[in-house]
Amino acid sequence: MRVAETQRHFTAKQIVRGFLPYLRPYKSSFIIAGILIVGSMIMDVAKPIVVGKAVDATVGPGGTFERLFPYCLSFLGLIVAEFVLNTTKSYLVQAAGQKITHKLRVDLFARVTHFPVPYYDKNPVGRILTRIVNDIKTLGEVFTASMAVLALDIILILGTVFAMVWLDAKLAVWVLATFPIVLLSIHLFGRFLASAYRQARAKLSEINAFLGENIGAIATIQRLGAQEGRLRKFERIVDEHFKAQMHSLRVYANLYPITNTLNGVAMTTLLLVGGNAVLDKTISLGVLVTFIGYIRNLFIPVRDLVEKYNQLLSARVSTERVLSLLHEPVEMEPLSSIGDIEKEIVGVDFRDVTFTYPSRTAPALKNVTLSLPSGQSLAIVGPTGSGKSTIIRLLLRFYDTDSGQILVGGKPIEDWDRRSLRTQFGVVHQEIYLLQGTLRDNLTLGSRLYPDPYLIEQCQRAQFWEFAKDRGGLDMAIHEGGANLSIGQKQLIAFARILVFDPPVLILDEATASIDRIAEQKLMEATRTLLEGRTSIVIAHRLSTIEYCDQIIEIRDGKAGTFSKERSEQVANHRPAL
């Protein structure tokens, strides 16, 4: 069951504290970049002064090229120096930003792999992908560009204001009279923009979640002819995202013209007051020209601030969502955890176990009791949705029971370390998980502990080597999801993978899809190999598999019972009871 996305909000202090561990390793880069930004600001503030001095030196009686030339060289020197400072600053900031986003993305993925399974019941894959891909990308843009530009703009504004007051305080007051209105406008509109961006981002997550789920199930959608219905629902989600985006656009569209208008008002004020001062000989023409340059220094950064403020508001939403994911609790182990399991699990016992999924009201299992001694096999049969797979989820500690007790090796399952416990179980699901890569990749899952001869031996035991040896052997290409393989072949690879890792306990959820007779024979031979010498739990759909099991239970409406093989055959074949 998917739930609507809830957005946790963080204060500026919490955001800084949350990302400080990622920023701290690059403290020296940011300090040097800050010094370079101050240097660049000095160059920017000095350029209008040089132009003003050049005007005073050349306009009017006595003005010559010889008097102008030194100012031209000075201006060129300022431009070159500013270029060097900005280039160095940009490299330092962008390099640090890329490293930060790389670390963030890796840490985020590492964290989501340790989230409890109920988290994934409530959050679709697309929503999580949005965090790791889109939101981290947005943060990367802030770290690599927006923050440096923002810092430069703020420092440039402060430096320009100081220079204006130093040149002529009275004229500076007239020119700066409109500036508080600009800052107030940015603040007020920003409050509306923040809310609008949160809504737009939430809708984007819904789009990604919908796409992830539906593209993954495209074969089923096409088989059922459900394309039109899915398209209509997608159009509704996209329309909601469009409306949220248009709302933020309308708010932002009003902010930019306000800054332009106030820029024009400031320039008009300067021409009136400053021009009159030039005529009265209170200030020189060069000072007026310098102030014209400073208005550019003031309002171009203000426009940048509006632009970057827009990005920062969007980034704040991404920041809150990434921090929410980083604050999401992971699976915790009890202080009394037994730790690593050094020998085979003795057996498995369910004692009066009742369990209800968090998103449901009716129990999935009701007072289930069963006992599986070491080395024996148990077949579980029953109709779809009866609770068969729930037993497996509880045994792997994806969920904890509401009441009753599960014992593993005679000890409560809650006392075992989850990771060590799960490595003792080899699980073969109906839907086989295959990596895009080679057969070797899918057998070892990246581990380098297993030599090729050992891998080949396990493929032979799983009845798959005959197929693979003429197709590249261990280097045989596996497409995404095993798209170039049949259902039976994918299951044989899964069997071979179990044999490679050689866990003491096997959990087999048999595939229900129809396969040809030869493939079924190979599966049966591979299944016998898997079951041999292991404690095994089989969710059975074939009578041929049930016949190999020592115990058979039926799960119906969450309750367990032991039945004859004749009765189990009826259940496995979904025939009504006699």
Determine, yes or no, domain membership for 37.
yes
User: Of 294, 327, 360, which closes a domain?
Assistant: 327
User: Of 273, 296, 327, which closes a domain?
Assistant: 327
Determine, yes or no, domain membership for 530.
yes
Residues 322 and 354 in one domain: no
- The Cα 372–Cα 344 span in angstroms is 14
C-beta contacts of 86-89 below 8 A and 24+ residues apart: 86/36, 86/40, 88/36, 89/33, 89/36, 89/37, 89/40, 89/148
Determine, yes or no, domain membership for 336.
no
Residues 267 and 353 in one domain: no
Residues 287 and 407 in one domain: no
Of 92, 98, 48, 97, give the one whose Cα is nearest residue 74.
48
Q: Which domain holds residue 122?
A: 13-327
Determine, yes or no, domain membership for 311.
yes
CATH code for the domain in which residue 253 is found: 1.20.1560.10
Task: Indicate the number of domains in the chain.
Answer: 2
Tens of pLDDT, residue by residue over 279-315, are: 888 888 888 899 888 888 887 787 777 667 666 766 7
Residues 442 and 528 in one domain: yes
Tens of pLDDT, residue by residue over 507-551, are: 887 654 555 566 667 777 777 777 777 888 888 766 666 777 788
Tens of pLDDT, residue by residue over 167-202, are: 888 888 888 887 788 777 777 776 677 677 777 777
Structure tokens at 311: 């990005």
- The Cα 70–Cα 79 span in angstroms is 14
- The Cα 6–Cα 313 span in angstroms is 18
Residues 266 and 375 in one domain: no
Residues 122 and 199 in one domain: yes
Asked if pLDDT for residue 265 goes beyond 60, the answer is yes
Structure tokens at 183: 């800052």
Mean predicted confidence (pLDDT) in 319-328: 83
Residues 169 and 290 in one domain: yes
Q: Specify the pLDDT at position 225.
A: 74
Determine, yes or no, domain membership for 577.
no
CB of 443 closer than 8 Å to CB of 496: yes
Q: Which residues have CB under 8 Å from 365's CB, separation 6+?
A: 353, 354, 355, 387, 390, 391, 394, 555, 558, 559
Element (H, E) at 196: helix 179-216
Tens of pLDDT, residue by residue over 27-61, are: 898 889 889 989 988 998 999 999 888 888 887 66
Residues 407 and 556 in one domain: yes
CB of 344 closer than 8 Å to CB of 374: yes
Determine, yes or no, domain membership for 380.
yes
Residues 306 and 412 in one domain: no
Determine, yes or no, domain membership for 26.
yes
Asked if pLDDT for residue 158 goes beyond 70, the answer is yes
Return the minimum-mean-pLDDT range out of 5-9, 55-59, 96-100.
5-9
Residues 359 and 278 in one domain: no
User: Of 327, 360, 383, which closes a domain?
Assistant: 327
Mean predicted confidence (pLDDT) in 118-126: 75
SS3 content of the chain, % helix, strand, coil (to 5): 65, 10, 25
Determine, yes or no, domain membership for 5.
no
Residues 508 and 363 in one domain: yes
Residues 321 and 386 in one domain: no
